[in-house]
Amino acid sequence: MSNLVWLRISMSSWRIFAWLTYLFIGAAIPVTASARCDSPKLREPVLAFEARHVSRIEAVLKLGREHNVCFGIEFVDRAQLTEPADFDLQHTTLGTAIRTLLGDQHSQVVEVRDGVIWIGQRTHTARPRGVFDHVVPICEIRRASVQEISMGLEMRLESDLNPKITGFAGDYRSGDLYNLVGPFKEHNRTIRQLLDQIVAESKGGAWILPAEDTRAWEILEYRDPNMNYTVFLRVIAAH
């Protein structure tokens, strides 16, 4: 993973509080945020699409980059992330193209939600509420890079779920430092809805996780100069 840039984060409890306050509650820079992704339409025509020797999810990301639409990918299996294939589509629609790229996955849903195309699992009545249903009462975010806001939101979630946390140590990807979103202030929004908003206001990309109800997500940016999708999707699949 030599082509990825990583930054080390190690914080004591008081520094966590100060940093989260700065990112989520600090004074917002008066910049009007405009959506960078196009409003997705599953009936949009796709005249031709080709991808060679890539995984199904990498093909979906390539299609999204070409058509300037963003994704929230909440449920995929390891094979969709890692097994390479060739794709050649002609005279279809965006929705049909996405479903074709995903393969014969009857348990998956493709629909438009909150400015992104959401790929998830069909609802089961017995499914417990997961961390993506966690509601953040007040989320006020200053203008910052996509990866910085994503990392801050993950820290916010972990702190909400476990108030005894006194520190964080780990890595986060710097991504495209010029891919800025915000400021915005939201009330009573789920983690899923906040991720949708962050991605929809970005230059383009997708938030993704390999299995439902895990706490770790990644935002893959279309214009991240250090991104190798094949390598990174294999890293996600290994988690």
Q: How confident is the model at residue 76 (pLDDT cuts 50, 70, 90)?
A: confident
Residue 201, exposed/middle/buried by CB under 10 A (0-12, 13-18, 19+)?
buried
CB contact at 8 A, 123 and 206: no
For the cut 50, the answer to whether the pLDDT of residue 166 exceeds it is yes
User: Domain range spanning residue 49?
Assistant: 1-239
CB contact at 8 A, 158 and 165: yes
Domain count, the chain: 1
**pTM (predicted TM-score):** 0.80
Q: What confidence score (pLDDT) does residue 31 get?
A: 40
For the cut 70, the answer to whether the pLDDT of residue 10 exceeds it is no
Average pLDDT over residues 20-39: 52
Cβ-based neighbours of 160, under 8 Å, separated by 6 or more: 134, 136
Per-residue pLDDT of 205-238, as tens digits, reads 999 986 554 567 889 999 887 788 898 898 888 8
State the chain's mean pLDDT as an integer: 80
